[in-house]
Structure 1
Amino acid sequence: MNVSFMRRLNGWLFALLILLGACAIGFLTARHDHAVDWTYNSRVSMSPETRAVLAKLDGPVDIISYASPQGDLRQTIAAALQRYQQAKPDLHLSFVDPQQDPAAMRNLGVTVDGELILHYRDRQQRMDTLTERSFTDALERLVRGNDRIVAFVTGDGERRADGLGNADLGTFVSQLEQSGMRAVPLNFSQVTSVPEHTDLVVLAGPQAALAPGATKALTDYLASGGNLLWLADPGNLDTSLQPIAEALAIRVLPGELVDASSAALGLKDPRMIALGDYPPSRITRGFTLTTLFPEVAPLAEVRKSDWKPEPFLRSSPQATTQSLNGSTTASLKGPLDFGFALSRLSPSPAKSEQRVAIIGNGDFLSNSYLGNGGNRALGERIFDWLLGDDQLISMPPRGAPDRVLTVSQGELSLLSVSFIVLIPLLLLVIGGMIAWRRRRA
């Protein structure tokens, strides 16, 4: 057989095999897709928080989208939810044409084309816009079951839950409300007791003495099984708060913490207490982020009671105390506790456990300091524990650590030289070698 013919035949067969392989690859990729995300914690594909919330939902989630079949809205919604369905196969999506039955849509309260209603067990959540943040918040609300009512004591100079001042808690509270908590004011000049169905009361550093009626209402609330978060600032413990401290068997010690070792972390003020290690507790289990606490009041257990105290914030051994006028109090040396989680069997038959947290600092959740390290993540853990949402405590913190590229001046100079000089020079050398070989051939 002609050698030339065999060579041509082999060439045609090889081309045919390549064509068949390309067709097979195209056929498979049209029906199966595989994406790889190399960013930290797969931030581009799905956040760790979203994956964690999906894992908490131990049953099917049905999503109904009231989207018009005209246009590309349905395809957009289906494509956006596809990655969540890959992580949770029992997440089902269906569409309803809102134009088919306008009366039924009015009864449902559907006013936006493409509005989503999520159903999980006997719970439901609505979404007008579909983003990963809004979707994750809706899933968290499904896990909680219903909105948690958090009452913030007001009227005596406390940190405001809706305030924008440096010492207020507005930024943190607005983020809590997105995940199923509802903040309401509690002014004891208008009411004589904590309203029913209040899940948590927050006493955030009153600047003036509480009225006797307010103190009695709070102690009665504790006696009846209510949950409390007390943010106690240094120097603000007056006689009006003493009954609350006595009921909890916790004492706010005089003075404030100072820690000279904070200078090693670049902190110029020794009153800034930075923590990276935490005593073992249900709030801080698995928590490794660094938190920052300015102007901290030390706490101590004064006697045994039916409360089970669990310290979860503790200073370093190098810490000591100083009075508020700056003189050192040598009798109190670290490590000193400034955060306690208290629990006991609830006096109320509606709850099995009563929970209280007292922290010798309220600034760490304020608008000024919330963005420092893991302050926000720790605050979310504290609220989740106080509200009994233990399954949400171990949720990964929001945000991704790889959004900012930090390089030194030497690394920046090396990168600049590489892109401006080395890479173009390398391309010239390669091009010259190719041209030299072709000339020799």
Structure 2
Amino acid sequence: MATGRKAQSLNVWVSVAVMLGLLVAVNLISHKHFKRFDFTKARRHSLSEQSRKVARELKKDTSILVFTKDRGAADKGLLDQYRAESPRIRYEFVDPDRQPLKAKQYGVSSFGTTVVVVSGDTTEKAYRFDEKEITSALLRAAMPGTKKVVFTKGHGEKDPDAYDGSGVNVLKRALEEERYTVSSVSLATEKIPDDCDVLVIAGPKYDFLPQEIAVLRDYLNNGGRLLLLLDPGALPNLVAFCRDAAGIEVGANFVVDPASRLMDAGIPTIDDYEDHEITKDLKNVITVMSFVRSVEPASSPPSGVTVHGLMRTSSRSFLMPGSKPPASGRVRLEGKQTRAVTVACASEVDVTSTDTSAAVERKGRVVVFGDSDFAGDRLIAYGGGNGDLVLNSVGWLADRLVLVSVRSKEQDSQPLVLTGRQGRIVMLVGLAGIPLGIMTLGVGVLLRRRLRT
């Protein structure tokens, strides 16, 4: 009997030792190969695609120092997500009261939470602890310097400095958050700045002069990058430029899409995107356009020009000639030829510069949309895809592919709502069911031991 008990005790201790060894091994492996899994429907505990790209593109070891007196479990969870994307990321929580010298070293003097990102010799700060601010700080640390976006003016374009909702001020601020500087230029009286990375023509009401078209053509042929947001209307010079220089056919029409359910048929909601760097991450999001014209690859693009469609309306769409809907606001659907209509294109142009003073290495690029309102202050936050689409276009044009992605969004609260009956069941299980289960298990173990003896 005693020998049997010793053998049983030995088995128990061996099992415990093996289990402890397994736990230690799993802990060591997970520390070196950290990985998280998110099974929530809305991916609430996952970083946005842009944050993941920024973390994965880090070239130097990067430290995230969180100076705060109130450390929460949720804070650690967010930083663990960044660490899971890049082995270069390390983080540390610092209490500025207990470590005043370290706070002074990094110039932290605020009473709230301050996030300091250190990458090599570069130090950046964020004053709010959330994904958007941390990713922005990582981006500033990993990509020092800025790129320049220039908006044209003088033709009734949307103004990046307008605050009355008629311009593209929200877009301007979003660009500045992603390390772009924004300015304006009048091609009739000024030249395009030498350091311009992307030239934007946002919703002109009046056509460009032939001399201005010549400036655009020369800029493109020297490897320039252009974003054109062209509403339905008579803009023959710009339309001819898109066709002849970029191989993009801009229609003298507007699209009617009866499949649009959110608003009316003249305001398409689009979720059909082509496979392109600009749109490849825009899955399960919609873009809300407003009174859009067709923008399609030309049937015979110029030599050295490659054109890709970006997005299409539904197969129930059809085209109406002109730039204005009928005065009655009603459109007859009978007898219309329906098809999916492409409303945005991207083009790459082989450089044909005559400038022999310096070799031009990059291709010219052009992105054209058949609407400007989707990027304007009133619609840019709609649908989920509007802001990402225009910012991705700028990122592709500026050769900042790390910024071509889906950005972080505010998470909606999803509380668990129980009926009165469900609440009572949960209460009974907690107060009675679990204790009774434990008692029953204990009595069963006790009886089993007595029967053995």
TM-score by length of 1: 0.72
Q: In structure 2, which of residues 355, 364, 369 is the aligned counterpart of residue 359 of structure 1?
A: 369
Match of 2:265 in 1: 270
Deviations along 1:201-260, whole A, 9 cap, x unmatched? 000111233345433322322232210000010114244664454333333212210011
Distance in 2 of aligned mates of 1:62 and 1:139? 8
Q: CA deviation at 1:63?
A: 4.2
SS at match of 1:294: coil
2:171 match: secondary structure: helix
CA pair 398-81 structure 1, distance change in 2 beyond 3 A: closer
Answer whether contact 2:232 2:292 (CA < 8 A) is retained: yes
d(CA) in 2 for partners of 1:279 and 1:128? Answer: 36
Residue 425 to residue 93, structure 1, CA distance change in 2 (3 Å): closer
What's the counterpart of residue 176 of structure 1? 175
- The equivalent residue for 2:349 is 344
CA contact (8 A) 2:117 2:141 kept: no
Change (3 A) 1:426 1:259: same
- Sort the Cα spacing of 1:425 and 1:139 in 2 relative to 1 into closer, same or farther, 3 A: closer
CA distance in 1, matches of 2:352, 2:118: 36
CA distance in 1, matches of 2:48, 2:241: 45
User: In structure 2, do the counterparts of structure 1 residues 63 and 286 end up closer, same or farther at CA, with 3 Å as the change threshold?
Assistant: closer
Match of 1:373 among 384, 389, 397: 384
Pairwise CA distance, 1:61: 2.6
Matched letter for residue 419 of structure 2:
S
Cα distance in structure 2, aligned partners of 1:417 and 1:80: 33
The alpha-carbon distance between structure 1 residues 203 and 66, as it changes in their structure 2 partners (threshold 3 A), is same
- Pick one of 390, 394, 397 that aligns with 1:386: 397
Map of 1:307 onto structure 2: 305
Instruction: Name the structure, 1 or 2, with higher relative contact order (CA <8 Å, separation 6+).
Output: 2
3-state SS of paired residue (1:157): coil
Deviation per residue, 1:45-98 (Å, 9 max, x gap): 7555433321122x323449798xxx969999x979963446433336799999
Q: CA deviation at 1:39?
A: 4.5
Distance, in Å, in 1 between the alignment partners of 2:64 and 2:289 is 45
Q: Is the 8 A contact 1:377 1:398 kept in 2?
A: no
The 3 A distance-change label for structure 1 pair 192 and 220 is farther
Q: Which amino acid in structure 1 is aligned with residue 175 of structure 2?
A: L
Segment of structure 1 superposing worse, 293-302 or 46-55: 46-55
Q: Cα distance 1:118–1:355, how it changes in 2: closer, same or farther (>3 A)?
A: farther
Higher alpha-carbon deviation: 376-385 or 211-220 = 211-220
2:248 to 247, 250, 254: 250
The residue type equivalent to 1:356 in the other structure is V
Q: 2:449 matched to which residue of 1?
A: none
The corresponding residue for 1:319 is 317
Alignment partner of 2:412 out of 386, 403, 406: 403
Does the 8 Å contact 1:173/1:183 carry over to 2?
Answer: yes
Q: Which residue among 283, 287, 306 is the counterpart of 1:291?
A: 287
Q: 1:219-230 counterparts in 2 under 5 A?
A: 219-230=217-228
Q: 1:282-325 CA distances to partner (integer Å, 9 max, x unpaired)?
A: 32234322222121101241532021111112222221112424
Change (3 A) 1:117 1:207: same
Q: Which runs of 5+ in 2 are unaligned?
A: 2-8, 354-358, 441-453
Shift of the alpha carbon at 1:340?
A: 0.9
Residues in 2 aligned to 1:271 and 1:420: alpha-carbon distance in whole angstroms? 48
Single out whichever of 32-41 and 143-152 deviates more from structure 2.
32-41
Residues 222, 360 of structure 2: 8 Å contact kept: no
Check whether the contact 1:144–1:389 (CA below 8 A) recurs between aligned residues.
Answer: no
Matched AA of 1:174 = R
Pair 1:91–1:295, CA change in 2 (3 A):
same
Given residue 412 of structure 2, which amino acid in structure 1 is its aligned partner? R
Contact 2:146 2:180 survives alignment (8 Å):
yes
What SS does structure 1 have at the residue aligned with 2:196? Answer: coil
1:210 pairs with one of 208, 211, 215 = 208
The match for 1:416 among 419, 430, 447 is 419
CA RMSD of aligned residues (A): 4.9
Instruction: Evaluate the alpha carbon distance shift between residue 278 and residue 49 of structure 1 in structure 2; reply closer, same or farther with a 3 A threshold.
Output: closer
Q: Answer whether contact 2:209 2:237 (CA < 8 A) is retained.
A: no
Within a 5 Å distance, the mapping from 1:83-162 to structure 2 comes to 83=80, 84-85=82-83, 87-91=85-89, 116=116, 118-119=118-119, 124=122, 126-129=124-127, 131=129, 132-142=131-141, 144-162=143-161
Give the Cα separation in 1 of the matches to 2:145 and 2:239: 32
Q: Which amino acid aligns with 1:260?
A: P
Aligned CA distance change for structure 1 residues 216 and 318 (closer, same or farther; 3 Å): same
**Runs of 5+ unmatched residues, structure 1:** 2-12
Q: 1:325 to 1:293 in 2, by over 3 A?
A: closer
Distance (whole Å) between structure 2 residues aligned to residue 332 and residue 79 of structure 1: 56
Show the counterpart of 1:335: 340
- Percent of pairs identical after alignment? 21
